[in-house]
Every structure is written in C-alpha cells, then in structure tokens.
Amino acid sequence: MSRLIDKLNRVSQAVPQAMGFRAMQQVSPKPRMLLIATLAQANIDGLADYVAGADAGLLHISNLSEGGKTLGEICQIVSDIPWGGWLRDVGQGGMKQIAKAGCDFVVFAPVNTPLAILQDNKLGKILQVEASLSEGLLRAVDRLPVDAVLTAGEQEGEYFLTWHHLMLFQRFADLLTKPLLVSVPSKVTASEIQTLWETGVEGVMVKVGVGQPEGRLKELRQVIDKLTFAPRRKRGKAEALLPYIGGERHIVAEEEKE
C-alpha cells in the first residue's frame, strides 16, 4: 500500500483508548494532521531544507518521461518521506515509469486523466475535485476506486482562507467518507489548522520553493505537533432535515378549548 495513504488512513481512524477494566486493546496513534509539500518546480537548491517537516512531497508532472526521471532523483535526495506526482494532462503512457522511479501516490483531475492509472494497485490515488461539484457527483466520487480526495483552491497573490472555503470543506467532509486533503497558504495559522481539523480535513498541502520562505514547513510542523486534535469523527453522516408538521401545537389548542 502507498505509504501516504497508510498514514491518512491511520489519521482518519484514530480513536481514544476505552476506559474501564477490560483487557488492554491496541491503541490507535495520536491524531495528527498531515503536512504535504507541493513543488511547482523541481530544480530547487536546498530541497531537503524546503521540505523539512513534511509528511510527504508532491511534484507537478506534465510529462511522464521527464517527470519520472526528476521524481526518481528527488526520491534519492529526500528518501525519508513518500513522494507523489501531481499529473497534468499526462496522456495514457508512462505510468509504469514513474512507479519504478519511486512514486508513492498520484494526484489527478477527473478530466483528461486516463483510467490506465488504475492498473498499478500499489500507487495511492488522490482525486482532485472542483469545489463546484454537485452533491450527486460527490457521492459518486465516494464510490470510486480512489484513496483520498483533494480540493485545491486559488493559490495566486495574497491567498488566504475565508469562511467560504470553510463552508466548502465542511460540505466535502459531510458528503465523503474518504480522507480529505485541502490546499492552504504557507501563512496558515494554528487556529486555522485547528478549525480545518474540526471541519473534517485530514491533511493540508502547502506550496514550497520559489517565493516561499525557507523553513516555513518546519515551523508548521512544530505548530501542528503542539496542537491537540480531537479523535476523528465519523465521516459522510450528513442527513436530510425533515419538515416540521406542527401536530403538537394543534393538540395543545384542542385541550385548551375543552
């Protein structure tokens, strides 16, 4: 299994130790939000310093042949974390090449991505979905053979999290049972991370490299490690609200009339 997906599953399934005098059971690991570094460019000096503190790394790949070679080099430079490829219009061939290069997982959009990536069962599969996706399609996504879901918002300019983002993330968490990843700005705060966790987010993706401060991921790692995360609640439990009939008020009126 993918190393990253294994981490995500352990995060989403973490539960507290039951109290009482029963026999000791295996305790799930302490809940902790995952931190993933995304690289828009591969030729970054001091790569290990940029991604220090991350649970995984992600490289944007638009050409499987060149991307596989670059990914293999990156996996050798920073081998202590799993690495994945963010596929961009890659076509149908070459998936075996990036798998051999050491790719642990792939992120892909549903449009223009061939079903051929399903042939490799060892690769973790994270589906990137748009925020505007309908409820029906989101429920369909939950039944697809993918391991997690990513929603990535705008990342240009002075990008910051808003209440609208939180509404969208809550909607995804309510409709999906799969682990949820979101893209966040590097300036994300401790209180924002805590709120995202409570909303239902298991992992955040942060851009590193040119234009981003070196060592920021290490700072975020320390921030996350100091936070206290409540055990993950059950996902996909959104229920429809039933209309109020008002029968009780009618009964009270009749009793007063008597």
Question: Tell me, what's the pLDDT at 3?
Answer: 93
pLDDT in tens, 84-119: 999 887 766 667 778 888 899 999 999 888 887 777
Question: Tell me, what's the pLDDT at 154?
Answer: 59
Low-confidence ranges of the chain (pLDDT < 70): 14-31, 42-44, 91-94, 153-158, 210-211, 232-258
Question: Tell me, what's the pLDDT at 132?
Answer: 86
- Phi, then psi, of 58 in degrees rounded to 5: -135, 125
Question: Tell me, what's the pLDDT at 114?
Answer: 81
Would you state the structure tokens that stand for residue 43, as one six-digit string? 């030729």
Nearest alpha carbon to residue 104 among 149, 66, 74, 62? 74
Question: Could you tell me the sign of the dihedral formed by the alpha carbons of 31, 33, 37, 38, in that order?
Answer: positive
Question: Tell me, what's the pLDDT at 155?
Answer: 56
Q: Which residues pair with 208 in a beta bridge?
A: 39
Alpha helices by DSSP H, listed for 38-157, are 47-51, 64-77, 95-100, 135-141
Say if pTM beats, i.e. exceeds, 0.75. Answer: yes
Q: Quote the CA–CA distance of 258 and 252 in Å, as a whole number.
A: 10
Q: Quote the CA–CA distance of 231 and 29 in Å, as a whole number.
A: 10
Question: Tell me, what's the pLDDT at 14?
Answer: 55
